[in-house]
């Protein structure tokens, strides 16, 4: 079955979780589809084309299918695609992927209602939008994320000090629970003199005061050399971090899906998370991670201590976790699910 050209939009200059999932998909799609990235560049993806170029491509009627697919993931991207289809009258079909596990506000709901096909990343996300065609969980690239043979050396190579480390990854802001991570580290680090904690992610101007308060708390506890703000780490460097740390700690107050636990598990690293996103599903009933209540610093601290006590068993864990990801959350499974959804558009040609 011949599929039409696929234009995947990325209009956000920042590298966000949405960007990461789109990049992982395109990196595989480019080998099996005629796919173009539109907007801002993404790692391991084709050089992006402009919106104007995308519109010109969409003017070309595919001789087999009669349309081009626009795959969008954000409000601005939906709005642009609707303009191209309904105002400029280009022969396109718009596919939208939704990860949000909460009710969209009125404007996004209107945009979503205009899509030709809806994909949700989980059953929970599907409950918040109507007419979902497919549930396709995000997957992780096991070519990029995989366990290392010597975690101790891998950590040493990062040059953050200490003999082992843990990390939280994401924007520095209350929603991501950066403050909860710091609170848990203030409790645990005095008991773990050889451990270093990394806070990986950028801070926007509106959250700089939030970060400053955390920096002051850390300084007052004399832990500034052991709780380290790394800033944003490039996507291509993250696999080295995920395979070097002994534990990923992700304590957001809200998460639509949450890719970092999958990346850590593919790297052979367990995680501690909160009851949001798809974290409980990822943990497989506690086998690969621990999930605690929102804002439960004591529960998180206990879970962190428990997992760190198993550091000498991480080699066996790594093999099992990697296989778990291959069987359930590989990027190939996600791409295959998306392609099957694309094929359904051929059955509904007008």
For residue 348, what pLDDT is reported?
64
The domains of the chain are located at: 6-139+330-346, 151-328
Q: From CA 7, how far away is CA 18, in angstroms rounded?
A: 16
pLDDT digits (tens, 9 = 90+) for 255-279: 988 999 999 999 999 999 999 989 9
Given a cut of 60, is residue 350 above it in pLDDT? no
- Provide the pLDDT confidence category of residue 323 given band limits of 50, 70 and 90: very high
- Are 6-139+330-346 and 151-328 the same fold in CATH? yes
Judge whether 219 and 182 are in contact, CB under 8 Å.
no
- DSSP-derived letter for residue 245 is -
Q: From CA 128, how far away is CA 143, in angstroms rounded?
A: 33
CB under 8 Å to 195, separation ≥6 — which residues?
162, 163, 164, 165, 166, 188, 189, 226, 308
pLDDT digits (tens, 9 = 90+) for 176-216: 999 999 999 999 999 999 999 999 999 999 999 999 999 99
* pTM for this prediction: 0.88
Given a cut of 70, is residue 159 above it in pLDDT? yes
- Expressed in percent and rounded to 5, the helix, strand and coil fractions of the chain are 45, 15, 40
For residue 15, what pLDDT is reported?
87
- Provide the pLDDT confidence category of residue 1 given band limits of 50, 70 and 90: low
pLDDT digits (tens, 9 = 90+) for 54-113: 999 998 877 778 899 999 999 999 999 999 999 999 999 999 999 887 888 899 999 999
Mean pLDDT of the chain: 94
Give the residues across from 72 on adjacent strands: 96
Given a cut of 60, is residue 52 above it in pLDDT? yes
Element (H, E) at 149: none
- DSSP-derived letter for residue 35 is E
Judge whether 159 and 190 are in contact, CB under 8 Å.
no
For residue 95, what pLDDT is reported?
97
For residue 217, what pLDDT is reported?
97
Domain 6-139+330-346 belongs in CATH node 3.40.50.10680: no
Domain 151-328 belongs in CATH node 3.40.50.2000: yes
pLDDT digits (tens, 9 = 90+) for 220-235: 999 999 999 999 999 8
């Amino acid at each position: 079955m011949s599929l039409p050209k696929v234009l995947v939009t990325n209009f956000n200059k920042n590298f966000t979780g949405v960007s990461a999932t789109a990049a992982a998909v395109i990196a595989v799609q480019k080998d099996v589809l005629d796919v173009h990235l539109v907007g801002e560049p993404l790692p391991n993806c084709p050089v992006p084309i402009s919106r104007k170029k995308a519109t010109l491509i969409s003017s070309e009627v595919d001789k087999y299918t009669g349309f081009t697919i626009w795959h969008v993931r954000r409000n601005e991207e939906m709005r642009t695609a609707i303009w191209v289809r309904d105002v400029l009258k280009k022969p396109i079909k718009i596919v939208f992927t939704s990860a949000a596990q909460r009710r969209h506000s009125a404007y996004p709901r209107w945009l979503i209602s205009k899509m030709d096909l809806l994909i949700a990343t989980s059953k929970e996300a599907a409950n918040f939008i109507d007419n979902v065609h497919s549930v396709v969980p995000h997957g992780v690239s096991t070519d990029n994320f995989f366990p290392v043979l010597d975690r101790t050396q891998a950590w040493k190579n990062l040059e953050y000090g200490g003999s082992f480390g843990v990390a939280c990854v994401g924007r520095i802001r209350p929603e991501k629970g950066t403050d909860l991570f710091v609170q848990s580290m203030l409790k645990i680090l005095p008991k773990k003199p050889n451990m270093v904690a990394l806070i990986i992610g950028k801070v926007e101007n509106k959250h700089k005061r939030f970060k400053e308060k955390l920096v002051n708390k850390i300084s007052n506890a004399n832990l500034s050399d052991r709780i380290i703000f790394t800033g944003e780490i490039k996507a291509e460097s993250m696999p080295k971090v995920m395979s070097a740390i002994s534990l990923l700690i992700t304590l957001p107050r809200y998460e639509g899906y949450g890719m970092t636990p999958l990346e850590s598990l593919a790297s052979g690293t367990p995680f501690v998370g909160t009851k949001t996103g798809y974290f409980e599903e990822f943990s497989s009933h506690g086998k690969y991670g621990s999930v605690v209540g929102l804002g439960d610093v004591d529960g998180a601290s206990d879970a962190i201590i428990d997992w760190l006590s198993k550091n000498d068993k991480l080699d066996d864990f790594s093999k099992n976790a990697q296989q778990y990801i291959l069987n359930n959350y590989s990027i190939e499974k996600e791409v295959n699910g998306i392609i099957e959804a694309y094929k359904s558009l051929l059955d509904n040609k007008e």
